[in-house]
Structure 1
């Protein structure tokens, strides 16, 4: 096989080393001649370049490394783009989390109104990047981790319907790994039937090949009786998995995605949050600080044995998708795709997360072939409508559509709080968002009351 070129869009991310090292572990299955780090933040990109250069030399990899902020250099002739861009960085994520909390609502990066704020930024940055890719590398595959994925996917579908993109989220892998850790299962033996939207779904069945049966009923019983072993999680994720147990006790017919806590138990989430120190602050003090400390160690040639970056599960999921494309493997993944009948009784133009086969042509969704329950359908229909209104607001530059999206978001109790938070997000996001216009008027200008 010819050696490939890969581009990491959002190269300055703390996840980059894990993805790169995971790719390089594949050897002849995924031979690499060049790695390109692309980021609009030259400082973060340079820092990650220093770390990657050290790791490549340490592990004896003969791979060319390019660090660039130039989209032409980043994308021309590349084979795969692994996208993990974060428009506005952790600084804007902090606003996404803290502004809703001021009003007593869920403050989270992909869910609730924080997710909508992030979605408006992501659409603007991501679509600009896809334009560069269409110009410089129209045959390249985009493997996307950029959040919020349902919103990003919907916007790409509208503007670039023919672009070669697969939208993937590894949260279902995280759930299955917790089942593995807590109860001794082997998730590689699972054939899972799952449906929903990104960060908003349920398992209908988990068939264990080694047992020859659906083990979801016994999983639910174990979670009700003993719960997860959260010893491998940090405090934030430990709390998330404990709330997932509450969901299962209240709704024991399906295994939910733990992100549903933000919609079903928003009051509990808010009560547990510190409005002055959110997940963004944890990451700034953790993962981002680690990057700076690692760069200092490399530059000063000290404590090199403490540099512990390695391949990981986060990287493996997206790399396995690339391998399934490269080798036409038809492996099975949970992916975000246009519905078009995959969930029969859900609107056909929804962007859903369902099992798919992946081959040289891309993702081929697997139909559930039966309707989903009204409770799940009702929740999903409202969420789909809110997300589509937000994408409408972006393309139409419509303040009215944005207000409707914020009001319909299921974490929001009334239009007054939706409008207050929308107006505050307009102010803090500035040029990260498109300008929003009121119907029949000039560009919307926020007037402070």
Structure 2
């Protein structure tokens, strides 16, 4: 299989390449990188070369000079682009904060601004894939992943699938905290789980091991809840009230005031931190010379990035540090590889993915992208039936889906009214006046 990564100069591309090198099936025969920033992709190519040293028959890497050249002949296309770079992310965060509302990359006003900028580019990519590689599968990790996947699906249909590492990370951490047998989790005949929602807005509602749902006992065990990230983030009391384990991004909704105050009180947003950190990495890496030095610099920078992930939310709940199990997460590189294997091998493997709803959540349109458990075969990813959503879960999903769809319309048709509707209806903005001010600031490039 030939894999193309769009955003090939991205900081986390080496994680994907390392997964390919460790893949016993050796399923990818060639990796093509494409990025609009030649300097960044040159540095990342150097990190990949260092990873390949000493490996028998490493996966060859090619750098394409154009989007069309990168797509031609691809079997899988992994889209992980950042339109506007970290500078754009900083504006997405700072503009809402200036109006007294949350500024975050994928959630709230910041996610809407990011979507408005990204969706036209993602749609162009989808059109070029359809023209040049109509048999390819597109795996989308570009944020905001749900709405970007939904926009691309207008061209590619079911051949675009969105991925996120948050849900599988949650399942793994919950299973470990519940004391589940690790071997059972790898056997679909012995384990299963019910996860449903939208990207960065979902709930783990059951976790079955050997015929027993271990989630109720976990929710009743305060000590066990305190042993992993989501348990500490949301707190035992609130998790018992919910009767489910939420995706970590729901902290912005359930603890809006606390997180907003934490971000407002800091001198540096997440985007500003990454801009400084990654800008420094690429600058130092370009001058490092030695492949070993570049690789070691990348590893140190990566670890710091993961240790500081969602730091503002942790600050709002006591300022605790992520431990080794939290850092383990789900690994978006492993999710992408598992998805490729499942499609190529027609395996029927079950994964949590972003796909068209169909009838999974009857209250949503069939073509709306949802994040849920899917069965993956050579025909793609099919969402599995789930138990009915509780009213609070469904209500939040419906509201955010209306925001996502309005954002897509605004991006595709340059419709300011749709953009205003998306911002004003988002529960983390909750003011038409503030929404209008945010749009004005964004238009001015504030």
Give the structure-1-normalised TM-score: 0.84
Give runs of aligned pairs for residues 93-108 of structure 1, distance below 5 A.
93-108=89-104
Task: List gaps (5 residues or longer) in structure 1.
Answer: 231-237, 430-449
Are residues 30 and 358 of structure 1, via their aligned partners in 2, closer, same or farther at CA, if it must alter by over 3 Å? Answer: farther
1:364 maps onto 2:374 in alignment: no
Corresponding position of 2:397: 380
1:126 maps onto 2:128 in alignment: no
Are residues 34 and 347 of structure 1, via their aligned partners in 2, closer, same or farther at CA, if it must alter by over 3 Å? Answer: closer
Cα offset, 1:362, TM superposition = 0.4
Separation in 2, partners of 1:306, 1:384:
42
Corresponding position of 1:439: none
Separation in 2, partners of 1:403, 1:74:
36
Corresponding position of 1:352: 370
Separation in 2, partners of 1:296, 1:332:
44
Cα offset, 1:407, TM superposition = 0.4
Separation in 2, partners of 1:17, 1:180:
28
After TM superposition, the structure 1 stretch with the greater mean CA deviation from structure 2, 284-293 or 48-57, is 284-293
Give runs of aligned pairs for residues 29-428 of structure 1, distance below 5 A.
29-158=25-154, 160-162=155-157, 164-180=159-175, 182=177, 184-185=179-180, 186=182, 187-188=185-186, 190-209=191-210, 212-222=211-221, 224-225=222-223, 227-229=225-227, 242-245=232-235, 248-249=238-239, 251-273=241-263, 274-287=265-278, 289-297=280-288, 299-300=289-290, 303=293, 306=296, 313-368=331-386, 370-428=387-445
Corresponding position of 1:435: none
Cα offset, 1:417, TM superposition = 0.6
After TM superposition, the structure 1 stretch with the greater mean CA deviation from structure 2, 40-49 or 177-186, is 177-186
1:10 maps onto 2:7 in alignment: yes
Separation in 2, partners of 1:6, 1:147:
20
Contact kept in structure 2, 1:112 and 1:409, CA below 8 Å: yes
Cα offset, 1:327, TM superposition = 0.7
Cα offset, 1:293, TM superposition = 3.9
Separation in 1, partners of 2:2, 2:55:
19
Contact kept in structure 2, 1:248 and 1:255, CA below 8 Å: no
Task: List gaps (5 residues or longer) in structure 2.
Answer: 303-327
Contact kept in structure 1, 2:21 and 2:58, CA below 8 Å: no
Give the structure-2-normalised TM-score: 0.85
Separation in 2, partners of 1:302, 1:339:
46
**Alignment length (residue pairs):** 411
Separation in 1, partners of 2:124, 2:407:
18
Cα shift readout 1:271-327 (whole Å, capped 9, x = no counterpart): 111453011233234455445444544x24664784675998221111000000111
Separation in 1, partners of 2:294, 2:276:
21
Q: Secondary structure at the match of 2:208?
A: strand
Cα shift readout 1:153-207 (whole Å, capped 9, x = no counterpart): 221222x044621111111122123335545443546411011111111122111
Separation in 2, partners of 1:37, 1:129:
14
Are residues 295 and 191 of structure 1, via their aligned partners in 2, closer, same or farther at CA, if it must alter by over 3 Å? Answer: farther
Q: Secondary structure at the match of 1:378?
A: helix
